[in-house]
Amino acid sequence: MVVKFVEQMKPFEIAGLPPAEINSFLSGTHSDPFLILGPHRVGDDVCIRVFRPDAKKIEIVTDRQPRNDRGSRISSESSIEMEKVHRDGFFQVAVPGATRDLDYKLRVTSRDDSERITRDPYSYGAIMGEVDQHLFTEGQHWEIYEKFGAHLRTMGDEAGVYFAVWAPNAQRVSVVGDFNGWDGRVNPMRKFAGSGVWELFLPGVGEGAHYKFEIRTQLGLLLLKSDPFAFFNQHGKSTSSLIYNLERYKWSDDEWMETRRTKDWPRSPISIYEVHLGSWRRRIDEGNRHLSYLELAETLLPYVVEMGYTHIELLPVAEHPFEGSWGYQVTNYYAPTSRFGTPDELRHFIDKCHQVGIGVIVDWVPAHFPKDAHGLAEFDGTDLYEHMDPRQGEHQDWGTLIFNYGRNEVRNFLIANALFWLDKYHIDGLRVDAVASMLYLDYSRKEGQWIPNAYGGRENLDAIYFLKRFNEICYERFPGIMTIAEESTAWPGVSRPTYLGGLGFGFKWNMGWMHDFLQYMSLDPIYRRFHHGNITFSLLYAFQEHFVLVLSHDEVVHGKRSLLMKMPGDEWQKFANLRMFFAWMYGHPGKKLLFMGGEFGQVKEWNHDQGLDWHLLEQPKHDGLRRLVQHLNYTYKNEPALWDLDDTYDGFEWIDFHDADNSVVSFLRKSREGELVVFIVNATPLVRYEYRLGVPSGGFYREIINTDAETYGGSNVGNLGGVQSENVAWMGREHSLLINLPPLASVAFKLEREGTLSA
């Protein structure tokens, strides 16, 4: 027998509530759903209210049987049918004599007569603690991703999902999804007024559910937003967030992670293969689809290992709707893009990289974010994450918004995001995009379009503080990782520690080297002697920062042509120039980065919608270039002289940079143990036989690199494997070598031992 405790009420008349309150709730404007829903003391009774538009009937199911005021059982039944007091789905029941902590569940009968028993979301007290909220408002909750977003949790005996979101200026925030008909009236959230955080635990919701936050602004507008902390999100036109369990994956990279903690990366070889996952390789036979994370683990990773790289750098993998942004317009900072698979499948890819000794760097974009309606822009109806003033808050060139680095919660969101990738995905490095745009208030702005800082300067003091804190916290919590700045100006101390006045990055992209050398390489060799300064200037500042020499994706798009097609001359000369350039790059101080396709001479510009032209490897000249890069990587890793003293003049010495007329330069690379490698570059198509070169020590100099070797597609001018020094003083040195310089080529010799020929 089912007992009904509430007589039929008139519409809008609900026990214990003024009509205005319930009208506000039903119209979706009420800001405190826990005042309306769940259990409430009304006189001597506990009144339970539920709003379920999809329900035909709802019953209260209790573990104990209710008693009247005299202590006797009211009924032998433990289920109590609720009264539907409003046609939209508002149910209520009064339980006489019950206490406020009445333990009950809801048996919901849907319109299709299916039944489901669940806990009442509005029977739970506040969940997020005051300390968590305080740390967040201070901007120092480094594991805030463990609290915000959507988390699978068990509260008492009920499994469900805990939701939390920051929207301080919203009038009302609701969780909407495929579990409540996307109706914002069904699951409005509790607000913590002091922090602006909203929370709700929804029993019965499970992994895979689609959801968003419906936000009612103070102006009465309804916004439908993806979760800023979502662990998984749809991409493209579908923009729902998805419930995902990040605690399931079991890592197998303990050895790598433990070894990484003690790594001194400035004194280690770093050769990076930069990759855009969506266009490295495509399945033409399957509609030109891109590969999945799992497929990339079986194809890309073995290729990188075979080629001898130490690291893979991925263009941004955080979720982004627009393919043409290449990932640099992020809408979901905590969700790896679902284009290629699930979060665990990406972690499988990273895990496999670590197991074979390959580090993984990801591009990270804290400089700006897009205006997509479902994203961070005007998140709660106000400029929450961005600056209100477009002179501070918008990149007009890019059509994107700039984070408000002066706001504690925004800095916390970003720094915690960096830590999230290092923590949950075991990422080894973060390359920070567009740092220059963050540092300067007048970046790409005309006079009158920017606001000076408090001291009248152009430096963005809030962004500087943010970058310093980001680096300090990352290195403190994850020793052995690296942060890399894409910074294109002469800002001092980018890779200097913050306690010495620097920004605290581990490395800086050497954009100056890249621009000077690409300009030089694009010249017809006959004119190169007039631009000799292009190839010597970089050594004036090479040791002021920890540099990465980069030939990145930015240099092979937007009409800039591929690396191969930047080279002058006929086809043979183009390949010879590029081979010479690559070896020169490996000899120059600094870590190395090469964008995919450059290693085998991709002819066309990079197109993010197409795979690389792998069929070119069927041609000997393209495969020869690939094998040269492979050889350079292995030689580089095996010769400490090429990386051991990368950040000091002790590791580099000019032999001769004055021979501009012949476009020849020569220099030494040295290790701490005294190993020597001699580099000579001949940037003209003329063979220079018996070219005399001064060297610091006598002995046999083994030829370890010759880009003109026939196996790479060259003319095979060389030195028969090496040269014995002569006691002929030259270039201010007591010893010298008489060598043959191949055309458009770089050659390198390693001092084997003094005084005798190599066996």
- CATH at residue 731: 2.60.40.1180
Beta strands in 22-148 (DSSP E): 38-42, 45-51, 55-62, 79-81, 83-86, 90-96, 104-110, 115-118
Q: Which of 378, 486, 516, 646 is an active site residue?
A: 486
Residue 439 has what pLDDT? 97
Which of 90, 123, 156 corresponds to the end of one domain? 123
190 has a pLDDT exceeding 60: yes
Q: Which of 344, 433, 639, 647 is an active site residue?
A: 433
C-alpha to C-alpha distances, 246 to 132, 148, 315, 335, 346, nearest whole angstrom: 21, 14, 22, 11, 12
Q: What is the pLDDT of residues 198-225, one digit of tens each?
A: 999 999 999 999 999 999 999 999 999 9
Which of 123, 154, 184 corresponds to the end of one domain? 123
Average pLDDT, the chain: 93
d(CA 711, CA 705): 12
Question: Which pair of tokens denotes residue 636?
Answer: 């580089």
Residue 67 has what pLDDT? 52
C-alpha to C-alpha distances, 110 to 86, 154, 267, 528, nearest whole angstrom: 16, 24, 66, 80
Residue 97 has what pLDDT? 75
Same domain, yes or no, for 134 and 112?
Answer: no
Question: Which pair of tokens denotes residue 220?
Answer: 């009465």
d(CA 390, CA 196): 24
Q: State the residue for tokens 């993998």.
A: 317
Question: Is residue 260 in a domain?
Answer: no
Predicted TM-score (pTM) of the model is 0.94
Residue 413: which domain range?
Answer: 272-505
Reply yes or no on whether 433 is catalytic.
yes
| 588 touches 549 (CB < 8 A) | yes
Q: What is the pLDDT of residues 390-443, one digit of tens each?
A: 899 899 889 999 999 999 999 999 999 999 999 999 999 999 999 999 999 999
Q: Give the distance from CA 13 to its chain's centroid.
A: 53
372 has a pLDDT exceeding 90: yes
Task: Give residues with Cβ within 8 angstroms of 270, minimum separation 6.
Answer: 310, 311, 548, 591, 592, 643
Same domain, yes or no, for 104 and 151?
Answer: no
Q: State the residue for tokens 């590969």.
A: 291
Task: Give the H/E segment covering residue 565.
Answer: helix 563-566
| 262 touches 253 (CB < 8 A) | no
Residue 41 has what pLDDT? 87
Question: Is residue 558 in a domain?
Answer: no
| 328 touches 397 (CB < 8 A) | no
Altogether, the residues listed in the chain come to a count of 759
Same domain, yes or no, for 339 and 219?
Answer: no
Question: Is residue 553 in a domain?
Answer: no
474 has a pLDDT exceeding 90: yes
Same domain, yes or no, for 168 and 79?
Answer: no
Same domain, yes or no, for 139 and 110?
Answer: no
Q: What is the pLDDT of residues 22-60, one digit of tens each?
A: 888 888 888 899 999 999 988 888 999 999 999 999 999
- Residue 348 sits in a domain whose CATH number is 3.20.20.80
Crossing angle for the helix pair 511-521 and 571-587, to the nearest 10 degrees: 150
Question: Which pair of tokens denotes residue 528?
Answer: 């190169």
Question: Is residue 561 in a domain?
Answer: no
756 has a pLDDT exceeding 60: no
| 737 touches 723 (CB < 8 A) | yes
User: Alpha-carbon Rg of the chain, whole angstroms?
Assistant: 33
- How many domains are contained in the chain? 4
21 has a pLDDT exceeding 90: no
Same domain, yes or no, for 111 and 143?
Answer: no
Task: Quickly count: other Cβ atoms within 10 Å of residue 665's Cβ.
Answer: 24
Residue 78 has what pLDDT? 79
11 has a pLDDT exceeding 70: no
Q: What is the band of 183 on the pLDDT scale with cuts at 50, 70, 90?
A: very high
Reply yes or no on whether 59 is catalytic.
no
| 326 touches 364 (CB < 8 A) | no
Crossing angle for the helix pair 461-477 and 408-424, to the nearest 10 degrees: 30
Question: Is residue 266 in a domain?
Answer: no
d(CA 176, CA 167): 16
Q: State the residue for tokens 């020094």.
A: 725
User: Which whole number is the average pLDDT over 493-521?
Assistant: 97
Residue 633 has what pLDDT? 98
Q: What is the pLDDT of residues 236-266, one digit of tens each?
A: 889 999 999 999 999 999 999 999 999 999 9
Residue 575 has what pLDDT? 98
Q: What is the band of 99 on the pLDDT scale with cuts at 50, 70, 90?
A: confident
Same domain, yes or no, for 685 and 651?
Answer: yes
DSSP 726-745: BS--BTTBSEEEEEEE-TTE
Question: Which pair of tokens denotes residue 681?
Answer: 């570059």
Fill in the amino acid letter for 539: L
Q: What is the band of 2 on the pLDDT scale with cuts at 50, 70, 90?
A: very low
Q: Which of 724, 734, 668 is nearest to 699 (CA)?
A: 724
DSSP secondary structure code for residue 585 in this structure? H
Same domain, yes or no, for 473 and 528?
Answer: no
Same domain, yes or no, for 118 and 147?
Answer: no
Crossing angle for the helix pair 343-355 and 293-307, to the nearest 10 degrees: 20
Question: Which pair of tokens denotes residue 110?
Answer: 């849907």
Q: What is the pLDDT of residues 561-580, one digit of tens each?
A: 999 999 999 999 999 999 99
652 has a pLDDT exceeding 60: yes
72 has a pLDDT exceeding 80: no
Q: Which of 64, 94, 72 is nearest to 82 (CA)?
A: 94
Q: Which of 477, 472, 494, 497 is nearest to 485 (CA)?
A: 494
- Residue 65 sits in a domain whose CATH number is 2.60.40.10
Question: Is residue 162 in a domain?
Answer: yes
Question: Is residue 548 in a domain?
Answer: no
Question: Is residue 513 in a domain?
Answer: no
- HEC profile of 167-193: CCCCCEEEEEECCCCCCCCCCECEEEC
Task: Give residues with Cβ within 8 angstroms of 647, minimum separation 6.
Answer: 266, 267, 543, 546, 589
Q: Taking CA 621 as the corner, what is the angle to CA 617 and CA 624, rounded to the nearest 5 degrees?
A: 75
Same domain, yes or no, for 211 and 289?
Answer: no
SS3 category, 341: coil
Task: Quickly count: other Cβ atoms within 10 Å of residue 279's Cβ.
Answer: 22
Beta strands in 291-414 (DSSP E): 311-314, 318-319, 332-336, 359-364, 394-395, 400-401
Q: Taking CA 307 as the corner, what is the angle to CA 303 and CA 308, rounded to the nearest 5 degrees?
A: 120
Fill in the amino acid letter for 194: G
Task: Give residues with Cβ within 8 angstroms of 759, minimum separation 6.
Answer: none
Of the chain, the percentage scoring pLDDT greater than 70 comes to 95
Same domain, yes or no, for 493 and 580?
Answer: no
> Which of 6 and 281 is assigned the larger pLDDT?
281
Which of 242, 258, 282 corresponds to the end of one domain? 242
d(CA 47, CA 117): 19
Same domain, yes or no, for 298 and 208?
Answer: no
Backbone dihedral angles phi then psi of residue 234, each to the nearest 5 degrees: -75, 160
595: region left, alpha or beta (phi > 0 left; psi from -120 to 50 alpha): beta
Of the chain, the percentage scoring pLDDT greater than 90 comes to 88
Q: 201: which strand partners?
A: 162
Question: Which of 70-84, 406-420, 620-634, 732-746 has the least mean pLDDT?
Answer: 70-84
Q: Which of 204, 159, 198 is nearest to 178 (CA)?
A: 204
754 has a pLDDT exceeding 90: no
